[in-house]
A and B are shown apart, each in its own frame.
Chain A
Amino acid sequence: MTTDLGFPAVDGLAGVPAGGQELSTKDFTSDQEVRWCPGCGDYAVLAAVRGFLPELGIPRENTVFVSGIGCSARFPYYMNTYGMHSIHGRAPTIATGLATTRPDLNVWVVTGDGDGLSIGGNHLIHALRRNVNITVLLFNNRIYGLTKGQYSPTSDQGMVTKSTPVGSLDTPFNPVSLALGAEASFVARTLDSDRAHLTETLRAAAAHRGSSLVEIYQNCPIFNDGAFDVLKDAEEKQRRLIQVNHGQPVTFGPEDERYGVVRDDNGELRVAKLAEVDESEVVVHDAHREDTSHAFALSRLGGQHLDPTVTGIFRAVSRPTYDDQVRAQLTEAAEQKPADLQKLLTGNNTWTI
């Protein structure tokens, strides 16, 4: 399922020992009381992660969650694994050091739109381009929750918040576009409310070797309630939600009104009524393309206004990971020149008194 780029396509969990006893959701649940607001989308993500981890078949102690600051950053406390609740925006750096030195760990980063795209934007893009073997869950609720409701880098332009009483002026980021621009080898988007799709996406992200970015549209019931309701409403979502699957034509819509994504004469993608185009014109999704322009074009469809919105795996290509290569250099160096500290300290130019 991965493109052969001359580097062995290794599973994301290669190097992590296979686990002894079979684990359950309960085994991944810590004794800490979960303290997100009632109705927070984070609960759904937590449940999906706890529910899906046992199927990886790896020991609990080899799993680590690292977070920064924000509502989502409490995530590690609720997982009965190793974890670190670090500082604002810096989780990718800590995860990079950990994953580079410990190939036996399954390392997750939990971040949000403020933590990962604002204060920590630099670290996120660099972790993605390096392709460190970590899985980044980006909880996007398009608002600052923990600081009580200021606009975020993914908020709608014009949004009225406490810090923008007459409307925000910032142009928002499209996290999927950003990740693709940062050379990410795995980029996906999913919804907190769609447990099946969320789980399937997490599974693929964990299996991917390299940096995986999963953007999760997540509802904040207190400061930005209903931001993604149009994607959850039974009727609306049929008209708006495009779930892409590798190798499948990109189509959606209710049975009596099917749509397809086609490429215009100018090369751009647009939505067309299937009835009005030839079936062969419909774009077939290819997540394994080295060239990012197809995935990027999909990420631009609809954009901020969710009309339509593409979910699924935009890109999943195999390329050498930073940490695998770092370790390979260490191994090679040790083989070529066995470590001899006395020799190193002595050097080549000495004199004796």
Chain B
Amino acid sequence: MVATNGHRPEERTETRRKANRVVIRFAGDSGDGMQLTGDRFTSEAAAFGNDLATLPNYPAEIRAPAGTLPGVSSFQLHFADYDILTPGDRPDVLVAMNPAALKANLGDLSDGATVVVNTDEFTKRNLKKVGYETSPLESGELERFTVHPVAMSELTKGAVAETGLTRKEAERCKNMFALGLLSWMYSRPTEDTERFLREKFASKPQVAEANVLAFRAGWNYGETTESFAVSYEVAPASLPRGTYRQVTGNQALAYGLVSAGWRSELPVFLGSYPITPASDVLHEMARHKNFGVTTFQAEDEIAGVGAALGASFGGSLGVTTTSGPGLALKSETIGLAVALELPLLVCDIQRGGPSTGLPTKTEQADLLQALYGRNGESPVAVVAPRSPADCFDIALEAARIALTYRTPVLLLSDGATANGSEPWLIPDVEQLPDLRVTFATEPNASDGSGEFWPYVRDPETLARQWAIPGTPGLEHRVGGLEKVDGKGSISYDPDNHDAMVRLRQRKIDGVEVPDVEVDDPSGRARVLVLGWGSSYGPIGAACRRVRQRGMEIAQAHLRYLNPMPSNLGEVLRGYDRVIVPEMNTGQLAMLLRSRYLVDARSYTKVAGLPFQAEELEKVLSDVVQGSEL
């Protein structure tokens, strides 16, 4: 029995090699526990101090037919001894738990990649399901790779036999065998995983024991089998000093919302309807009732945002979370919030569209819906996180804007950001922005009548006063009908409407946002690449590669989509070429062209997956070398 407590193979120097970065992809049936396996490996890498980024990729079906291509679920993890920006383009190691997983992922591998397969699943029947006439393990088509055939199911069953589980239950532990094997290959610490398994299955000690045994068996297999003569070490990354944890985008978003409530000293009310990939925010928020966070699982998307707006009217920080189709349903209520001029946070975790589209895949095609998807002139502020950890900061920013300007704010995350994870430098709570607000307590009528007029504004921010029910003397009515500015009574006056439309626009245009920063190490770049949202990682990684090849390129990234930073026009006009990569058909590029009259060129992909650094590197270096896009 191998020592498993903090065992690292320092003692085995003769077989250990160093690597700077590794990309691993675990792939199997959607019932094989690949997401859990990936999560655990990620935690091990995080605990070791590597920088990391992850990309879960799973089907919309909860259990597609076993062993088929549509049922393949995968989890990709990139970990390194330096700060990385993406989950990696191509896996260095593929763990394929069945023929479908192999077939679905083979195309993404580079020559020389390592492939670990569970040979027990390579039966005639399973091979036939995915159209293999002969086993790829024997046909020679894997010659380009280093293949490790491992009878994982049988080895797992043997390892856990002593627990007395049924064969079926025993076999279910094979993902932990795979995790144990990979943990050995990459010299990962193991004690946290064993503790995790014992906690996760605390109510089923037999199952907990079996999983731990399978995990250890995988480790031992690596250590004792000659085919795995080499293990690798990826040293901890030298990130900025501080205490880190691993966080997914949805988790960071939830923490940001809880923190916004804490720093504004307002109760948080989340009204939401389950929808992929946003539901995890609701789940996470529901766990923090001790922070005064109310979560309301509504009867539909409309009720979710309606209840949030009702809570805002009552003096809470009203929040709703959704994905694209849900945002469409919420449009009318967001329009009402524009008219009422009340704070409201609307978080859209974008997914592939139109309609139901690709629920579990990523896309950034809701930008125009967020900006313009309502009737009438209905401006709202729009922000977008650039990475999983940035979801925390952007949630606080969204709350600042909503509370300061009494406006709905749309926060556009996406599936890749939401489910991806990365190390997060844990912030000091005391250093988080002060978001406290002042409710109206006194009548404010300019005619000295002693009345409260709901649409009297702050001259700086143009925000109206927030007088919450229960405040004596400030009784007032608001609604979706056009109002006279100031007094707030219903008005059909043409000039008033024109003035109010422009006023609401001016208020949003005047939202203070920081200038966009340009990363141009040489200061001599003539090409600027500008992105927004989750493309930050691949664009940044591509820029590094372009520069490593001796070319110059400038990078800028928008976290504020409405209003846009005031220096943006100047920045855009400062370059000969502006390239805008987007996971849509060119929505931001269209806005930039119309707003700034610059010849921004689109590079777009709408495949449900993030950009690869490799493809962007090619596009960008071609442009730098003078090609037209």
The verdict on A100 contacting B47 (CB below 8 Å), with A30-B477, A61-B469, A353-B242 known, is no
Q: Which residues of B are in contact with A by a Cβ distance under 8 Å? A: 43, 46-49, 192, 236-246, 255, 258-259, 262, 267, 269, 271, 288-294, 296, 298-300, 302-316, 318, 332-333, 335-336, 340, 426-429, 469-481, 489-490
- Please pick, from A84, A92, A330, the residue contacting B340 in the complex, using a CB distance under 8 A: A84
Report the bound CA distance from A341 to B435 in whole Å.
15
Interface residues of A in 113-156 (CB under 8 A from B): 122-123, 126
The verdict on A97 contacting B271 (CB below 8 Å), with A61-B474, A102-B314, A102-B469 known, is yes
Q: Does A315 contact B (CB under 8 A)?
A: no
Residues from chain B with Cβ under 8 Å of A80 in the complex: 475
Q: Are B240 and A329 in contact (CB under 8 A)?
A: no
Report the bound CA distance from A99 to B306 in whole Å.
12
Q: Are B426 and A330 in contact (CB under 8 A)?
A: no
Complex: chain A residue closest to B481, CB-CB: A85
Residues from chain A with Cβ under 8 Å of B470 in the complex: 61-62, 102, 104-105
Q: Does A93 contact B (CB under 8 A)?
A: yes
Interface residues of A in 327-347 (CB under 8 A from B): 329-330, 332-334, 336-339, 341-342, 344-347
Report the bound CA distance from A156 to B475 in whole Å.
40
Report the bound CA distance from A350 to B424 in whole Å.
10
Report the bound CA distance from A226 to B159 in whole Å.
83
Q: Are B477 and A77 in contact (CB under 8 A)?
A: yes
Residues from chain A with Cβ under 8 Å of B241 in the complex: 353
Report the bound CA distance from A87 to B481 in whole Å.
10
Q: Are B332 and A94 in contact (CB under 8 A)?
A: no
Complex: chain B residue closest to A332, CB-CB: B289
For the complex, count residues of A whose C-beta is within 8 A of B: 58
Residues from chain B with Cβ under 8 Å of A352 in the complex: 242-244
Beyond known contacts A344-B291, A349-B246, A350-B245: 5 more, CB 8 A cutoff: A83-B477, A101-B315, A123-B303, A330-B293, A341-B262
Chain A proximity of B433: nearest CB distance (Å)? 13
The verdict on A97 contacting B476 (CB below 8 Å), with A62-B469, A345-B429, A346-B245 known, is no
Report the bound CA distance from A294 to B351 in whole Å.
49
Residues from chain A with Cβ under 8 Å of B427 in the complex: 345
Kindly name the residue among B291, B340, B490 whose own CB sees the greatest number of chain A CB atoms within 10 A: B291
Q: Are A101 and B311 in contact (CB under 8 A)?
A: yes
Kindly name the residue among A97, A122, A332, A337 whose own CB sees the greatest number of chain B CB atoms within 10 A: A97
Q: Are A330 and B289 in contact (CB under 8 A)?
A: yes
Q: Does A66 contact B (CB under 8 A)?
A: yes
A-B contact pairs, 8 of them (CB 8 A): A85-B477, A87-B336, A97-B310, A101-B269, A122-B300, A349-B43, A349-B245, A351-B243
Q: Are B244 and A341 in contact (CB under 8 A)?
A: no
- Please pick, from A61, A84, A93, A329, the residue contacting B479 in the complex, using a CB distance under 8 A: A84
Residues from chain B with Cβ under 8 Å of A61 in the complex: 469-475
Residues from chain A with Cβ under 8 Å of B310 in the complex: 66, 84, 93-99, 101
Report the bound CA distance from A225 to B262 in whole Å.
55
Residues from chain B with Cβ under 8 Å of A98 in the complex: 310-311, 313-314, 469
Q: Are B49 and A96 in contact (CB under 8 A)?
A: no
Residues from chain B with Cβ under 8 Å of A30 in the complex: 477
Report the bound CA distance from A333 to B286 in whole Å.
11
Residues from chain A with Cβ under 8 Å of B255 in the complex: 344-345
Chain B proximity of A321: nearest CB distance (Å)? 14
Kindly name the residue among A81, A82, A101 whose own CB sees the greatest number of chain B CB atoms within 10 A: A101
Report the bound CA distance from A101 to B292 in whole Å.
10
Report the bound CA distance from A100 to B304 in whole Å.
13
Chain B proximity of A348: nearest CB distance (Å)? 8
Complex: chain A residue closest to B192, CB-CB: A349
Q: Are B429 and A94 in contact (CB under 8 A)?
A: no
Chain B proximity of A20: nearest CB distance (Å)? 9
Interface residues of A in 35-86 (CB under 8 A from B): 59-62, 64, 66, 69, 76-77, 79-86
Chain A proximity of B127: nearest CB distance (Å)? 40
Residues from chain A with Cβ under 8 Å of B318 in the complex: 97
Kindly name the residue among B240, B290, B309 whose own CB sees the greatest number of chain A CB atoms within 10 A: B290
- Please pick, from B300, B428, B477, the residue contacting A82 in the complex, using a CB distance under 8 A: B477
Report the bound CA distance from A96 to B302 in whole Å.
12
Complex: chain B residue closest to A64, CB-CB: B469
The verdict on A126 contacting B303 (CB below 8 Å), with A76-B477, A98-B311, A344-B255 known, is yes
Residues from chain B with Cβ under 8 Å of A333 in the complex: 289-290
Residues from chain A with Cβ under 8 Å of B288 in the complex: 344
Residues from chain A with Cβ under 8 Å of B307 in the complex: 93-94, 96-97, 100
